[in-house]
Chain A
Amino acid sequence: MNFWAIQTLNGISFGMLLFLLAAGLSLIYGLMKILNLTHGSYYMLGGYVGLAVMRASGSFVLALLAGSAAVAVLGVVMERFFLRRFHLQELPQTMLTFGFLFIFADLALWVWGGNPQTMAKPPLLAGVTALGSLNYPTYRLFIIAAGVVVALMLWWFQDRTRVGAMLRAGVDDEEIARALGINVSLLFSLVFAMGAFLAALGGVLAGPIMGVYPGADFEVLLLGFVVVIIGGLGSLKGALVGGLLVGLLDNFGKVFFPEFALFTIFLPMALILAVRPTGLFGRE
């Protein structure tokens, strides 16, 4: 019994990290139709910057904020100065984001070396919490809580705020939104900042449990893709449901079939593709 509860919670906490990653991937695609291959790098860079700040200052909160904010700036720079020139041109955007993926991967390897590094847990969250008869690491519960808070905030932002309404208008029909006087190009930068911020936030949050290491960028990029393939591009609900699903499948896959762990996420993906090529909540 405890085994199932622990593994399920592990899966959900990882799923929340994937949600943070996929939410940005999905938002960016929804508004700009950009498939951002650098998104996994945002996660990894967030982790590295967070780690450096944590070591220098000892403050976890500062690490979270600095890691996410620094990468958000990076995202805006990429959008403003590079991707914007190739609006709606799939191949050049792919080439650019591939290029940045390699640049960031190699720079990170240069600066932080090839060894995996782990961030210290903040003392307040380092222990275990009793859930009935079960003692479960507090930090993972914190990740789940953080994911829920972000999901609620994103929902509130999209559904209840003026900027969120503009964003939805831009996703629905960019040209009409422009004609109505909405500053769509400002929205582009905002969404890129948000997406990069969330991915990096996931990277910092993952630091204490999964560590930061070279290759994490490719790894989470793949998982992020599977999440949005399952959930549907452009949908926050899809990112959440897909994230939790992939988190659970990945976790149980690694427990039961360590050599073929990827299959447990790949098979459902293939099934969903066969039935609904645009994902559970995606639109054509």
Chain B
Amino acid sequence: MNRQQQLAIAGIAGAAVLLAMPWLFGSYYLGLATKMIIFALFAMSLDLLIGYTGLASLGHAAYFGVASYATGLLALRLGWGVGWALPAGVLVAGLTAALFGLLALRARGSYFLMITLALSQVLWGIAFGWRSLTGGDDGLPEVPRPDLGLPWSFADNTPFYYFTLAVAVVSTWLLMRVVASPFGQSLRGIRESETRMLALGYDTWRYKFAAFVLAGLFAGVAGVLYVYYNRFVSPDYIHVARSAEVLLMVILGGAGSLFGPALGAALIVLFENIVSGYTERWLLVLGVVYVLVTLFAPDGITGVVRRLRQRKAGQT
């Protein structure tokens, strides 16, 4: 079997497992799987910036959270259905990313890191402080699950799982198209050497800005799914701790491959679930994971696999 056949078989097997999930696992684990899929999408959206464009954003939860709030508020206060509230949430995330991108992309390196972090914390401050709109620290409870007028209620885990899966599959397909396109190739060019791309006549700012907004839009999709999943949104959704967590997912899986960050996200969600069952010190464990990943697997799981394979190929 050549590599392409192997990949195809792995892909089909993966799809079969994802589709059969409700029969394989109980309702509780189905909820966990739904969360994994949402964070996989979130991590892939950040990978578009870190892995493909070489821009490390430390405030990616801003777009995730702002979409959650927008959808939650529209559903709660104005009674909007998912058909309007989902695109509206994604749009708000995209607009926020456009505004923040205008400011952050003027800077480079560490300034870019600080500015993305500072801007996202400003949103957190608004969510925390503007009690009359956002409910402050208590957040917005009882956001209704989407209702598509189908015979299956999305309040049940199984139909909502398929809804999440469908949205995530479409989003992933779009992301794959983006990174495979000439535009995606140009982003890689910017990651490798922005000066060279400039010399070749590329208006690199435009490419970076487009990538920034796209990443914000897909983070927004994940945010909308998550507010429906949890039926709740609080300032924690925007907090820098969440931005840091999704950064870890990307690095742990391996930046620059879409699949890696998705895997990293699934692992972290699973790991958090297991660890939280034993101890309240999840943050401490998480902090140690950051340090260990940085010391021992700086290019992530996909990087480790690649190195092992190269070593094996070298031996034979």
Binding site for B on A (CB under 8 A): 29, 33, 35, 82, 85-86, 90-92, 94-96, 98-107, 109-110, 218, 222, 225-226, 228-229, 233, 258-263, 266, 269-270, 273-274, 277-278
Contacts and interface: CB of A to CB of B under 8 A. Distances in A.
Nearest to B286: A102
Interface stretch (B62-70, B122-130, B161-169, B217-225): B122-130
B251 interface: yes
B191 to A, nearest CB: 12
A274 B115 CA distance: 12
A98 B281 contact: no
A58 B103 CA distance: 48
Contacts of A98: 244, 247-248, 287, 290
Interface residues of B, number: 44
A274 B98 CA distance: 14
Contact of B293 (A95, A104, A269): A95
B13 interface: no
A100 B284 contact: no
Nearest to B109: A90
Given A95-B251, A98-B247, A99-B289, A228 B122 contact: no
Contacts of A229: 111, 114-115, 118
B193 interface: no
- Looking at chain B's contact residues, the main secondary structure is helix
A35 B113 contact: yes
B290 A99 contact: yes
Contact of A270 (B103, B110, B281, B290): B103
Given A35-B113, A259-B131, 18 more contacts: A90-B113, A95-B290, A95-B293, A96-B294, A98-B244, A99-B286, A101-B244, A105-B283, A107-B284, A218-B239, A222-B121, A226-B118, A229-B115, A266-B119, A273-B106, A273-B107, A274-B106, A277-B111
Contact of B110 (A105, A109, A233, A262): A233
Given A102-B286, A277-B106, A277-B111, A94 B56 contact: yes
A218 B283 CA distance: 14
B298 interface: yes
B92 interface: no
B55 to A, nearest CB: 11
Contacts of B50: 91
Interface in B275-316: 281-284, 286-291, 293-295, 298
B58 interface: yes
A226 to B, nearest CB: 6
A254 B99 CA distance: 25
A278 B58 CA distance: 18
Contacts of A90: 56, 109-110, 113
Given A103-B284, A106-B287, A269-B118, A95 B247 contact: yes
B124 to A, nearest CB: 9
Interface string B227-264: 00000000000011100100110010000000000000
A102 B247 contact: no
B117 A225 contact: yes
Contact of B103 (A103, A105, A106, A273): A273
B295 to A, nearest CB: 8
Contacts of B298: 92
Contact of B284 (A82, A95, A102, A222): A102
B251 A262 contact: no
Contacts of A94: 56, 58, 113, 247
Contact of A102 (B114, B121, B290): B290
Nearest to B50: A91
